[in-house]
Amino acid sequence: SDAPLILGIESSCDETGVGIVRGTELLANTVSTSMEQHVRFGGVIPEIASRAHLEAMVPTLQRALDTAGVGLDDVDGLAVTSGPGLSGALMVGVAAAKALAVATGKPLYAVNHLVAHVGVGVLDGGELPDRLGALLVSGGHTEILKIDSLTEDVELLGATIDDAAGEAYDKVARLLGLGYPGGPVIDRLAKEGDGKAIRFPRGLSLPKFVGTAEAPGKHRYDFSFSGLKTAVARFVEQYQAKGLEVPVADVAASFQEAVVDVITKKAVMACTEHGMENLLLGGGVAANSRLRQLLQARCDSAGIALRIPKPSLCTDNGAMIAALAAQVVAAGVAPSGLGFATDPGQP
């Protein structure tokens, strides 16, 4: 195709990503992660992540160019995540992108990480429908978005008020002694347990938070996972205090059921109430087998078409940044210039 060649840089958390796309065609998606360096802390340490980005940026860029078989001269536009994310981590990517823009004279586009999790959908399954809901679940975010235009009209309907869903998986895995990251381990272990064994709390599901469609509560589409994490901790402590063996598989399955039940219910409710017949699932937790299964079933019942990009496009990566920028360019939006700052808290 003759669509412009776009190179995207992602560095908002622990993944250094460089992706290259032409329109909806994926040419390279190279990712380096500092995850191993965070394992012993049980979570991402911002300072370590920033340093790792600095080391990984140029090699990752070079590998992406090699994979795509192009040089910097061939690139028509550059893109980078400006937020949300870890401040220092974002700065490394933005500084790299600005340096490239100065060195090559190519236009630079600053993009929103969350919207990019949705925009990446075009790389797996082609053009996205005009009106679309998105459920983003990862170690860093848990949001429901309403998208009428990726470039002009994205509304945040709800978000977590404390921990992200993936973060809850990581913390619960840690207190069960299962290691980090916790998502994949709990996903696996839960298959051997009974999700109905223990009734853990569904955060922000009480009528006073949810309200009704006509009179929505303050937290109708919001999430909370810290109470759930505490409930799991108390449960485990009680078993240990009595000298009993903790039924780890049942705890994992029941915890997972509590997370997945509430996020799928609220996502489907948001779609139904906002006339969104399409839903896209993104973020690292999109790999979760129970989430995929329950979300598919609930979308089917509600007549919502569900799209889940392949896992390498769901976790943080550079192709999502390039893919969104390609749509921004196609919409005729002006480049961002070199004067923009990182925006760690940008919604």
Q: Please report, in range form, the residues annotated as the binding site.
A: 113, 117, 136-140, 170, 183, 187, 288, 316
Binding-site residues from annotation for Fe cation: 113, 117, 316
With CB cut-offs between 5 and 8 Å by kind, which of Zn ion, ligand KG4, none does residue 169 bind?
A: ligand KG4
**Closer of 138 and 336 to Zn ion (Cβ):** 138
Min CB(112)–Zn ion separation in Å: 11
Q: Are strands 5-10 and 15-22 parallel, antiparallel or unpaired?
A: antiparallel
Residue 11 binds ligand KG4 (CB under 6 A): no
Report, in Å, the least distance between residue 9 CB and ligand KG4: 15
Of these, 170, 257, 316, 343, which contacts Zn ion (CB under 5 A)? 316
Residue position matching structure tokens 């001269």: 73
Calpha distance 327→321 (Å, rounded): 10
Q: Tell me which stretch binds ligand KG4 (CB under 6 A): 92-100, 104-112, 161-169, 272-280.
A: 161-169
Tell me the three state secondary structure of residue 256. helix
| CA pseudo-torsion sign 47, 51, 57, 59 | negative
- Name the strands in the sheet holding 142-149, side by side, starting at the edge strand that comes first in the sequence: 153-159, 142-149, 132-137, 278-282, 305-307
Tell me phi and psi for residue 141, to 5 degrees: -145, 155
| φ, ψ (nearest 5 deg) of residue 18 | -130, 125
Binding mask 138-167 vs Zn ion (x if CB under 5 A, - otherwise)?
A: x-----------------------------
In three-state secondary structure terms, 190 is helix
Give the whole-angstrom CA distance, residue 334 versus residue 340: 13
First to last CA, the chain: 34
Partner whose footprint covers residue 217, from ligand KG4, Zn ion, none (CB < 5 to 8 Å by kind): none
Using CB under 6 A as the binding rule, whether residue 138 contacts ligand KG4 is answered as yes
Q: CB 149 → ligand KG4: shortest distance, Å?
A: 24
Q: How far is residue 287's CA from residue 309's CA, in Å, rounded to a whole number?
A: 10
The residue range among 2-10, 148-156, 281-289, 320-328 that interacts with ligand KG4, by the rule CB under 6 A, is: 281-289
- Minimum CB separation of residue 227 from ligand KG4 in Å reads 18
Distance CA 233, CA 229 (A): 6
Comparison of 84 and 107: residue with beta carbon closer to Zn ion: 84
Beta-strand runs (E) in 23-126: 25-33, 77-83, 108-112
**Cβ nearer to ligand KG4, comparing 5 with 90:** 90
Rule CB under 6 A: choose which of 93, 203, 284, 309 binds ligand KG4: 284
Identify residues 167-196 at the interface with ligand KG4 (CB under 6 A). 167, 169-170, 181-184, 187
- Chain residues binding Zn ion by CB under 5 A are 138, 316
